[in-house]
Chain A
Amino acid sequence: MSHMPNPPTTMLSISGVHTYYGNIEALKGIDVEINHGEIVTLIGANGAGKTTLLMTVCGTPQAARGHITFEGKDITRMPTHEIVTKGIAQSPEGRRIFPGMTVFENIQMGAMSCDPEYFDQDYTRVTELFPILKERQNQRAGTLSGGEQQMLAIGRAMMSRPRLLLLDEPSLGLAPLIVKQIFEVIAEINQTDNVTVMLVEQNAYHALRLAHRGYVLVNGKIAMSGPGSELLERPEIRAAYLEGGR
């Protein structure tokens, strides 16, 4: 839907990654490439390993085999808190905001790992994207609605000035109108703020329409990949993720 950077250069490369939870092999050799400036979506059934892949990029759990490189640096064995300072931010599954803190304090927590000099500028930007956060800045985050909490989770992640943003099911449990709004903001973040996005979604239709490219994860393996619009046309995808699921 939007222009692609020219020529595409790899930002994140995941190659041959296996991840285990104890004896359970959740990821069975994953290869994924994400280029600068892209929105890449990852779709798949419940339990396919989408969250696991996102978390493996962040280093909890770490990949047992394979390599993950970000902007040319190997981050496979790096502890999570260091990976974040390299320019990757995550809005985790289930939002995981700090419920007892105010909205503003949550946003401050996002800026923890970077220079305070940028705070004003970044805060203004985040409240431009999500004006509701400014209205609610003194409210306890736990009392926000589900949609507002999701916006807070994305806003908080944006405060660390990421170059790559990982989003895990931002549309979970939200009304269609809010989903549309959030997806518009994701597109805006991608284009205006020049942030590359890796998006995990159940809402395959919206996700594939938004994304430049998509991967389909089945049982810990990549089953299909290609441009979003192309995947959307595939009959097997329509059958498995679109018609039945909607």
Chain B
Amino acid sequence: MTKATRPPLNWLALLKESGVAAFVALGLSIVMFGLRTVDQQGGLGLQTRWSWVVLAVVSVFIGRLVLAIYRETRQPPHTYSGTQDSEQNRLAECVQKISKVVAPLLIIFAIVLPFLPFSSRYIIDVATLVLTYIMLGWGLNIVVGLAGLLDLGYVAFYAVGAYSYALLAYYFDFSFWICLPLAGIFAATFGIILGFPVLRLRGDYLAIVTLGFGEIIRVVLINWYTFTGGPDGLSSIPRPSFFGLPFSRRVPEDSETFHTFFSLDYSSMHRIIFLYFLILALALITNFFTLRMRKLPLGRAWEALREDETACRSLGINPTNTKLSAFAIGAGFAGFAGSFFATRQGFISPESFTFIESAVILAIVVLGGMGSQLGVVIASILLIGGTELFRGLEEFRMVTFGGLMVAVMVWKPRGLLAHRDPTLRLHAPDHTPESHKSNT
């Protein structure tokens, strides 16, 4: 990088740029912060909060200015974009090496977490929540990250899984261990039903249709009162058992519960920890499945399809079936996560499955770096764990969320850990590869 030929900062242009940003902020914040309706005795009243507007405008102005100065001083104005690319790649190689070590450490940490001295019920609850999103992120990663199908209605399959579990348990009295696979299969079936008509669409169009599908499912759940309970939702969903041993304080006659079977004292933590391990296992299954798929022809075909559909077709890949399989498998994992959600909460209602959930899951995948498994973990911890820990700042949750997104898009436009590692690396140039034998 050349240092000598950098022109001096053009302050006028920078100030103008920041001024424009501040003006936009002014326009937006007048309506969003400046005016507020409040209930008064005589009906609705208007409250003004001009100090907020001033704060927003000033912070946008300064933020933009700092950003612009940073941009101007860091990069020579006309860089060959290739250097950035290779820099990114070098970084990614590093990350890949680190992740070989980090991934097993993370798994070990996750396994021992409930037994660590500081693990309160609260910590385990948050960890369970984070793991749920990690699983959803990994599931969506198959659809978006690997197959390149932008799905904005992923939460629909999560909902299908949750409701299938609750309804199967309610109407047929099936146990958790029967409902879990059935919920996954139902969700996958929905994936196929949706996939058939829409998968010939591309990019933006696919995104819009999936968005619509997500809403349709929610609206049906709200309105089909007799079957789904409508907005009231479904409650008293059966809790999971430890392979038939329930986690209850009262011991039913001629049967055993978890604590009597293992001769422990009853503790409500047993169930919490069990749920934690359950979602950990489900999430790890999702991960290993994805890693395995990437090495198989079908997984390879997903990735190829994302890169060039026409080329795929001329190589003998059936694009419809390939996309459908990605869609269905992604949906299936959302279904598993959904039934876990139902059994953990004991209560579900359509409110848990709004578009914002799809957006959060998609944000996790995109922020983590499309297709990166470790990226999903880090993004989930940041987004879900982070917002959970700062619950006090509830009001600023979405602002923080948006700010984080913008920050990542500015500094890491390809996501935190954007790197595609080859499914296998060949070493000696004259050594014939062997691992492709698994290509059956």
Contacts and interface: CB of A to CB of B under 8 A. Distances in A.
Interface of A: 58, 60, 79-82, 84-85, 89-90, 92, 96-102, 104-105, 108-113, 116, 119-120, 123-124, 134-135, 137-138, 156, 160
Contact of A104 (B301, B307, B318, B433): B433
A84 B308 contact: no
Given A92-B311, A100-B420, A112-B297, A135 B317 contact: no
Nearest to A111: B439
15 contacts: A80-B313, A96-B308, A96-B311, A99-B307, A100-B303, A100-B420, A101-B307, A105-B422, A108-B436, A112-B316, A116-B436, A124-B432, A134-B430, A138-B426, A156-B315
A108 B316 contact: no
A165 to B, nearest CB: 12
B303 A101 contact: yes
B310 A60 contact: yes
Interface of B: 297, 300-301, 303-304, 307-308, 310-319, 420, 422-426, 429-430, 432-433, 436-437, 439-440
A101 B304 contact: yes
Contacts of A123: 432-433
A137 B432 contact: no
Contacts of B312: 109
A81 B304 CA distance: 14
Name the prevailing secondary structure of the B interface residues: loop
A110 B303 CA distance: 14
A116 B304 CA distance: 18
Contacts of B436: 108, 116, 119
A92 B300 CA distance: 20
B308 A98 contact: yes
B307 A81 contact: no
Contact of B318 (A81, A134, A137): A81
Contact of A81 (B308, B317, B420, B422): B317
Given A105-B422, A137-B426, 19 more contacts: A84-B315, A89-B314, A90-B314, A92-B311, A96-B308, A100-B307, A105-B423, A109-B300, A112-B316, A112-B317, A113-B315, A116-B440, A119-B439, A120-B432, A123-B433, A124-B432, A134-B430, A160-B315, A160-B316
A98 B439 contact: no
Contacts of A90: 314
A96 B316 CA distance: 14
Contacts, number: 90
Contacts of A138: 422, 425-426
A212 to B, nearest CB: 25
A245 to B, nearest CB: 28
B310 A92 contact: yes
Contacts of B311: 92, 96-98
Given A98-B307, A112-B301, A84 B316 contact: yes
Contacts of B313: 60, 80-81
A96 to B, nearest CB: 4
Contacts of A79: 318
A134 B433 CA distance: 11
Contacts of A134: 429-430
A116 B317 CA distance: 15
Contacts of A85: 316
A113 B300 CA distance: 13
Contacts of A92: 310-311, 314
Contact of A84 (B297, B314, B425): B314
A84 B316 CA distance: 5
Contacts of B432: 120, 123-124
A110 B301 CA distance: 11
Given A98-B304, A98-B308, A105-B422, A81 B439 contact: no
Contacts of A102: 422
Contacts of A97: 308, 311
A159 to B, nearest CB: 9
Contacts of B300: 105, 108-109, 112
Given A105-B300, A112-B301, A123-B432, A81 B425 contact: no
Given A92-B314, A156-B315, A109 B304 contact: yes
Nearest to A113: B316
